[in-house]
Amino acid sequence: MKDIDVNNRRIGVNFESGSNAHVRVWAPFAQKVELLLSKEAAKVTLKQADYGYWVAETDRLGAGDNYKILLDNETERPDPASLFQPEGVHGCSAAINPREFKWTDAAWQNHPLGDYVFYELHTGTFTPEGSFKAIVGKLDYLADLGITAIEIMPVGQFPGTRNWGYDGVCPFAVQNSYGGPYGLADLVDACHARGIAVVLDVVYNHMGPEGNYFNDFGPYFTEKYNTPWGNAINYDDAWCDGVRSYFIENALMWFRDFHIDALRLDAVHAIKDFSPKHILKEIKEYADQLMEVTGRTHYLITELDLNDPKFIEPLQRQGYGMDAQWIDEFHHALRVTAGGEKSGYYADFSGINHLAKAYTDAYVYDGIYSPHRQKNFGAKTSNPGHQFVVFSQNHDQVGNRMLGERTSQLHSFEMQKLLAAAVIVSPYLPMLFMGEEWGETNPFQYFISHTDKDLIEAVRAGRKKEFEAFHNEGETPDPQAEVTFQRSKLQWDLQEQSHHKQLLNYYKALIGLRKEHPVLQRSGRAQLSADVDADKNVLLIHRWHHDQHILCVMNFSGEIAHVGLPAEYSWRMLFASADARWCGNLDMLHPALTVTNAAVPAQSIIIYHNDHV
């Protein structure tokens, strides 16, 4: 049975009223559960309650005090629902009262989802300091760039101080080396003061290996299903109610207590749940209840590799109610069109024809045969554009390369500008990966700081095996080495240098155009058509709203392309990536001239509008 109150967290240590701590631990197989108080070197015995819970109310544990959970007189563990692990994943938990957070965002209203321009960042490498406080110092820069939502990679406590965040083992605890829960709350408050929403990446499909003590408390995992990380989280097997409540409480906590605007749920295709009500649907139902109480708007965004629209269909249409999803297929088609490799999953993508399909249909594989998967895959979707997030790079697509090369190391300067425009002029929600806007040259590599020697060697061996066919490109970077982490940090001084500065100004102008133009600011997929000249590697994207029209002519080839424009409209040049302002060789001295034919420079985009605008 679930006992969830959207107004208050009900698991772990909480201070609901007065000064007493309310303790609630789920340990259905334990015979005895106690609270170990570090300050007094004393114990508080919990009473057994229904459905595997143990409870206590005490005035001996205050906010800021350290504690652990003692199971059956012998097993000391951190609290699975701890909000802070000041000593790391193996140490004591600290009692935190979110009511102590200092908020100034009472007037904040979340943006409509269609207005989101995402900026994905990793806290540890975004700034030299690698902290929430240091991100605050960059918010004015992000606002000036045109970003309306930062997306923070996972901050649940992980081993050590260096990690992408997907090895977290304390989903409620905010990483101590980043600034802990108070630091995150201050960052969110500062974002809202600048009109920036905050999206937090959370992991509900697996737990990391080091510091994973969940099995000591109860059946958090099931042997019914396997995932790439081992046994699946128990969402539908015996005792699953306690597990489901745990993750529902987690989502509610981020929204309610940390004022997070949206959650990005990692790899939901790896969530195994055949319950009559899928866990995602239940999370959505509780999120809706919370929004009714608070009047604030929150979104749920999934990473999904199934091309199944039921995940983003609303609850009233028997969907799971997720508000949007990442769409990797747009990225894959775009990269192949730009001349990228066609190995692995890229082999499924033909290039410019599939890119055109991604613009018009969202899913490339929407029920057609996938050679890579060796089966028919996906289903058609009619969902609007604002339910899809697209990008030309992200942490996965960069960091899961052997050397972690960014687009700036793989493509020409002109192609970088074209890739950015292809994303930003789409009817979908655009996302940038930190540093791409100035052509960051440092890689983003996979890094860890585990303390278990056997685990470290296993991770090293796994990375080497994954890339054993690529040894001619060099040695696989050591994920445990601090230098791997340090070389992944952004170089903020680059944005003041030559082409980097002009690329940054280009991104600002392009994002501004998307926000301001009445066609580009809309997410209607029905008001879009795509025409392909495969021989020239040219794509024309025609978008419109009422009698206002935009034509985006993209030339992915290495030669100038001569393209006839649709004759039923009078076209004038609005924007060109090869403009001299952005280090190109195109002179836009006469943008007011009406044209019927376009000479599009190699690896560039020209955007035209009709005379009505």
Q: Could you tell me the two tokens for 372?
A: 């890579």
Is there a binding annotation on residue 244? no
CA 258 – CA 68 distance, rounded (Å):
24
Nearby residues of 181 by Cβ (< 8 Å), 6 or more positions away? 83, 84, 96, 98, 101, 173, 174, 258
266 is catalytic: yes
CA angle 559, 562, 567 (to 5 degrees): 155
Q: Is 267 annotated as a binding residue?
A: yes
The reply to whether 372 sits in an annotated binding site is no
C-alpha 415/C-alpha 407 separation (Å) is 9
Catalytic residue among 79, 249, 266, 348: 266
Q: Which of 499, 470, 326, 460 is nearest to 405 (CA)?
A: 470
SS (H, E, C) 175-186: CHHHCHHHHHHH
- 273 is known as an active-site residue: no
Residue 331, annotated as binding a ligand:
yes
Does the annotation list 396 as a binding residue?
yes
Q: Phi then psi for 193, rounded to 5 degrees?
A: -65, -25
Helices and strands, number each (H, E), in the chain: 15, 31
Query: What is the distance between the alpha carbons of residues 324 and 272, in angstroms, rounded to a whole number?
Result: 20
Q: Measured between alpha carbons, how far is 362 from 357 in angstroms, rounded to an integer? A: 7
398 assigned to a ligand binding site? yes
Give the ranges where 48-167 is alpha helix by DSSP (H): 123-126, 132-136, 139-145
Q: Is 174 marked within a binding site?
A: no
Could you tell me the two tokens for 384?
């609007």
Helix (H, G, I), strand (E, B) or coil at 172: strand
Any binding-site annotation on 609?
no
Task: Give exposure, 575-608, as e/b (b: 16+ Cβ within 10 Å).
Answer: bbbbbeebbbebeeeeeeeeeeebebbbbbbbbb
Q: Is 210 labelled as part of a ligand binding site?
A: no
602 in a known ligand binding site: no
Annotated binding-site residue? 397: yes
What is the per-residue DSSP string for 524-571?
A: -SSSEEEEEETTTTEEEEEEEETTEEEEEEEE-SSS-EEEEPPTTS-E
DSSP codes, 305-356: SS--GGGTS-GGGTS---SEEE-HHHHHHHHHHTT----GGGGG--SHHHHH
Mention every residue, 6+ apart, whose C-beta is less than 8 A from residue 496.
none
400 is in an annotated binding site: yes
Specify whether the CB–CB gap between 43 and 35 falls below 8 A: yes
State the first-to-last Cα distance of the chain, in angstroms, to the nearest integer: 59
Report whether 475 belongs to an annotated binding site: no
**Is 525 annotated to bind ligand?**
no
Closest by alpha carbon to 394, among 326, 457, 450?
326
Region class of 423: left (phi > 0), else alpha (psi between -120 and 50), else beta: alpha
Residues 574 and 593: their CA atoms lie apart, in Å, by 10
Q: Which amino acid is at 329?
A: E
Closest CA to 113 of 304, 336, 263: 263
Tracing tokens 């309310």 back to the chain, one arrives at 22
Query: Is 328 a known ligand-binding residue?
Result: yes
Sign, Cα dihedral of 30, 32, 38, 39: positive
Residue 330 marked in a binding site: yes
From 189, 201, 303, 308, active-site residue:
303
Contact 271, 235 (CB under 8 A): yes
Question: Exposed (0-12), middle (13-18) or buried (19+): which is 4, by Cβ within 10 Å?
Answer: middle
**Active-site amino acid positions:** 266, 303
Binding residues for substrate: 264-269, 328-332, 395-400
Binding residues: 264-269, 328-332, 395-400
